[in-house]
Each structure stands twice: as C-alpha cells, then as structure tokens.
Amino acid sequence: EIRKVVQALEQTAREILTLLQGVHQGPGFQHIPKKCQKAREHFSTVRTQMESLKTKFPTDQYYRFHEHWRFVLQRLVFLAAFVVYLESETLVTREAVAEILGIEADRERGFHLDIEDYLSGVLTLASELARLAVNSVTAGDYSRPLRISAFINELDSGFRLLNLKNDSLRKRYDGLKYDVKKIEEVVYDLSIRGLNKEATVGAGGEK
C-alpha cells in the first residue's frame, strides 16, 4: 500500500520536474511565473497523495518505513524550493516546504519533514541553480547569474555552520563546492567580457 502511494508521488514529482525544466530553455525565462503557478497546482495533488500515505502506517512507526518515501520526499523538497526560488529568489524554510507538501514540520505532530530530507532537497536546488546560471547567459540574461552566485554563497556559508554526521548528506554537501565553483566561473567569464557591468546597470530596479 505504501509503495503504491509512493509510486503515485514519484509520478507527480516527475510531472512537476518536467514542467520546471522548461525554464532552462531560452523562451522559458519569460514564462517563469506561469510555470510556477502550474507547479503549485500540481502540489495540490501531492498534498492529496500525502494524506493517503499518512493512513498507510501507524504514526509512531514513521522511521520504520521512512526509506520507502525518503527519496521522493527529498525530490519534492527540491521542487518546492525551486518554485519558491523562481518566484522570490529566496530560500524556502522547512516549515514552508512542509506546508506546500501538506505534512508537519514538527516530529511530534506525526508525518513530518525530516531535517536531513529538507537539507538534501536544498542541496539539489544548488545544483539546479548552477545549471540555471549557465543557461541564463545563453539566454542573454546576465544579471541572474550574479544573483544566483550571491544566493549560493550564502547557502554555502549556512552549510559550513552545520556539523554534518550523516554520510549521504555529507557527500551531497561536498558537491556544493563544485556548484559554487561552476557559478563563480560563469560570473568570472561575465566580468572579463564586461557583461557584469551591463547586468548591474540593467538590473537597476529589477529583483
């Protein structure tokens, strides 16, 4: 029963991902608000599926079955974080993700978003933004990589404050330095071509 619901969640996650991948194509930049709105509609399906999942096992046995939905939950955290970033260029909080997914942020209250699942999803967001920085340049948007760079550096500083004991999370965090490097290279290329000045002027009143 759990597996069936998890498969349905994976399918919804794939649909949201396919939709959001469109932002990487040139014309996709003009359609970001529309794509985010559509993605949010898909999250209402996620909430319904989560409600169904909660009924499939006793509340106090969350960690006994956690492995079944851990991967899809991390994927959904990433997708929710990506939507929020595209809308406001801010980092989504764990509480806000839990609300988007229709689950609890607090362990004591039942089916919740584990802190490590939240952090894994956020690290996947960093890789996606590194890719977006590269594709922004291709699309002629030179100010976005500068904003992504500032965001990722702040994210990296936050992760440096954590004492990560979890092996898989630690490995994922090690990948963050490559994302930082990749974005720094994009920003460096823009600066040696003088395009970052153009971006700063062009981004005057723009967020």
- The model carries a pTM of 0.92
Beta bridge partners of 104: 112
Q: What is the CATH number of the domain that holds 20?
A: 1.20.58.2140
CA 63 to chain centre: 23
How many whole angstroms separate alpha carbon 112 and alpha carbon 90? Answer: 22
- 49 located within any domain: yes
Domain that holds residue 73: 1-193
- 71 located within any domain: yes
pLDDT at 205: 45
Which whole-number Å values give the CA distances from 88 to 34, 68, 180, in the listed order? 14, 32, 20
- 206 located within any domain: no
Residues placed in the known binding site:
128
- 44 located within any domain: yes
Tell which residue, 75, 93, 97, has the closest CA to residue 16: 75
- 205 located within any domain: no
Contact 32, 86 (CB under 8 A): yes
- 30 located within any domain: yes
Task: Going residue by residue through the chain, which has 207 residues, state the pLDDT in tens, using 9 for 90 and above.
Answer: 999 999 999 999 999 999 999 999 877 778 899 999 999 999 999 999 999 999 999 988 999 999 999 999 999 999 999 999 999 999 999 999 999 999 999 988 889 999 999 999 999 999 999 999 999 998 888 999 999 999 999 999 999 999 887 688 888 899 999 999 999 999 999 999 887 666 555 444 443
- 83 located within any domain: yes
How many whole angstroms separate alpha carbon 117 and alpha carbon 115? Answer: 5
- 51 located within any domain: yes
How many whole angstroms separate alpha carbon 49 and alpha carbon 55? Answer: 10
pLDDT at 84: 98
Residues placed in the known binding site for Mg(2+):
128
Contact 180, 142 (CB under 8 A): no
**Number of domains forming the structure of the chain:** 1
